[in-house]
Amino acid sequence: MTIQIPRGTQDILPGVVEKWQFIEGKAKEICNKYQYREIRTPIFENTELFLRGVGDTTDIVQKEMYSFHDRGGRNITLRPEGTASVVRSFAENKMFGNPTQPVKLYYLGPMFRYERPQAGRYRQFVQFGVEALGSMDPAIDAEVISLAMDLYKSLGLKKLRLVINSLGDNESRNAHRTALINHFEPRIDEFCGDCQKRLEKNPLRILDCKKDRDHELMKSAPSILEFLNEDSKQYFEKVKQYLSEMDIDFIVDPTLVRGLDYYNHTAFEIMSEAEGFGAITTLCGGGRYNGLVEEMGGPDTPGIGFALSMERLISALEAEGINIDSKYAADCYIIALGDEARDYSVSLLQKLRQAGFSSDRDYLNRKLKAQFKAAERLGAKFAIILGDEELQTGKITVKNLDNGEQSVMSLHNFIDEFSKQCR
Ligand code: HAM
């Protein structure tokens, strides 16, 4: 029996991987433009990190984590998201003491969630995310949002919708929490078991329930925006003002609560409005998480960030008919005929590569025509043709495969001559 790939994962094969590399390159370029620096944290962490960080009433923690005991009996989890790890690292490495503040970081790597696989939903997916720690200036909220929009727009996406909300500070959230309990409590027995548990522990999570989303009490639930205190209101106003001044269109949606527990103040999502994108339209999600650093044992430090998945970004590009040119081309292909020429081509290939040319040769002892085909398939710009006879006379023929022009160069000085004429 053949062994198959695990459900909800995918192989990214040559031919497609170049598209990923291009997008990853763009993301890194934009991070450099905005002065965010890369951080790499482990792919597995102690489970406790996510229980505390993401929140033990969330779907992620309750239903979706890949957790196991390692051989030393430790409780380990494959990371379902990046923020908890970044914040752990920030606290553990005392980055709050860095001379450069705020600390602006980005990450790119696989995340794992045991979800029901469907279009746009995988069990292993790659997130690109940023986190800015140490500033409570609403301008940094606007910066983080604009960075995400910048990436999408730089790739040509147009059908985007930015939705924002404010979840307020602790005081506002507590007032909202009481209102939510009062709203749902009299009829909580009409809701699913999860929601019944959420009522006391974290009633905001009820608004995020996939099972009960059509219940009439959902639509009439008190909106967080009615409970924002003066500080929270002013903060939200400033974020909106800055976004407008940066010409970034947005819609305020008071029902946007996000699926992780660490948020307060600004929360946002970016959706694709492209036709045929599928049922899951969220491309990117993020928000502010003041309090999380303290939760991880660091000093009270504000933070904001977002994450987006490469998989959904690529689907959005496809839905908008945007083709990323993923052509992969070689500079040279050595076409060698005859035993001596084939032997000679081994060191010649090495010299070409050392001189910086992306090069290859035939390894299947093919005929002349088939070697030319192989060169073409690689998109090689030059065929470097070498036969036993050429070896004897000290000559090599170079054919430019784009325009068919041929020239003869000396074997002795080949790399110098080729570099001068063909680079
Ligand atoms: P999240 O909303 O759970 O937030 O995920 C962010 C993004 O990851 C989603 O918008 C989606 O593009 C992608 N994503 C999530 N689950 C899947 C999946 N199963 N398959 C494919 N893509 C998926 C977070 O993870 C937060 N850490 C974001 C954040 C950073 N907040 C502040 N800083």
Q: Could you tell me if the CB of 268 is within 6 A of ligand 1?
A: no
Name the token pair of 296.
Answer: 């991880």
Q: Which residue has the least CA distance to atom 13 on ligand 1?
A: 309
Domain boundaries defined on the chain: 17-169+229-319, 332-422
Q: What pLDDT shows up at residue 31?
A: 98
Q: What pLDDT shows up at residue 256?
A: 92
Whole-number Å distance, alpha carbon 344 to ligand 1 midpoint, is: 53
Confidence of residue 315 (pLDDT cuts 50, 70, 90): very high
Whether the predicted pLDDT of 144 surpasses 90:
yes
Q: Which residue has the tokens 């639930």?
A: 221
Q: How many CB atoms lie within 10 A of CB 322?
A: 14
Q: What pLDDT shows up at residue 325?
A: 80
> Under a CB-based contact definition with an 8 Å cutoff, are residues 417 and 410 in contact?
yes
User: pLDDT for 185-229, tens place per residue?
Assistant: 999 999 999 999 989 888 988 988 889 989 999 989 999 999 999
Whole-number Å distance, alpha carbon 90 to ligand 1 midpoint, is: 20
Mean pLDDT of the chain: 95
**Cα(159)–Cα(165) distance, integer angstroms:** 20
Q: What pLDDT shows up at residue 277?
A: 85
**Cα(123)–Cα(125) distance, integer angstroms:** 6
Choosing from 50, 125, 161 the residue with most ligand 1 atoms within 8 A of its CB, the one to mutate for a pocket test is 125
Whether the predicted pLDDT of 327 surpasses 80:
no
Name the token pair of 139.
Answer: 């301008």
Cα radius of gyration rounded to whole Å, the chain: 28
Q: Could you tell me if the CB of 303 is within 6 A of ligand 1?
A: no
- First-to-last CA distance in the chain? 50
**In CATH, what is the architecture of 332-422?**
3-Layer(aba) Sandwich (3.40)
**DSSP code, position 99:** S
Which ligand 1 atom is nearest residue 117's CA? 19
Q: Which residue has the least CA distance to atom 17 on ligand 1?
A: 121
Q: Could you tell me if the CB of 270 is within 6 A of ligand 1?
A: no
| pLDDT-above-70 percentage for the chain | 100
Asked, colleague to colleague, whether 17-169+229-319 and 332-422 share their fold, the answer is no
17-169+229-319: which CATH topology?
Answer: BirA Bifunctional Protein; domain 2 (3.30.930)
Q: What pLDDT shows up at residue 258?
A: 87
**Cα(278)–Cα(260) distance, integer angstroms:** 23
Q: What pLDDT shows up at residue 354?
A: 97
Q: What pLDDT shows up at residue 3?
A: 96
Interval 349-355 mean pLDDT? 97
Q: Could you tell me if the CB of 308 is within 6 A of ligand 1?
A: yes
User: pLDDT for 63-101, tens place per residue?
Assistant: 999 999 999 999 999 999 999 999 999 999 999 999 999
Q: Could you tell me if the CB of 50 is within 6 A of ligand 1?
A: no
Whether the predicted pLDDT of 328 surpasses 90:
no
**DSSP code, position 222:** P
Backbone φ and ψ for 188, nearest 5 degrees, come out as: -65, -25
Q: What pLDDT shows up at residue 355?
A: 97
Whole-number Å distance, alpha carbon 306 to ligand 1 midpoint, is: 8
Whether the predicted pLDDT of 108 surpasses 90:
yes
Which ligand 1 atom is nearest residue 60's CA? 3
Q: Which residue has the tokens 């503040």?
A: 101
Q: What pLDDT shows up at residue 26?
A: 97
> Under a CB-based contact definition with an 8 Å cutoff, are residues 173 and 229 in contact?
no
Whole-number Å distance, alpha carbon 263 to ligand 1 midpoint, is: 14
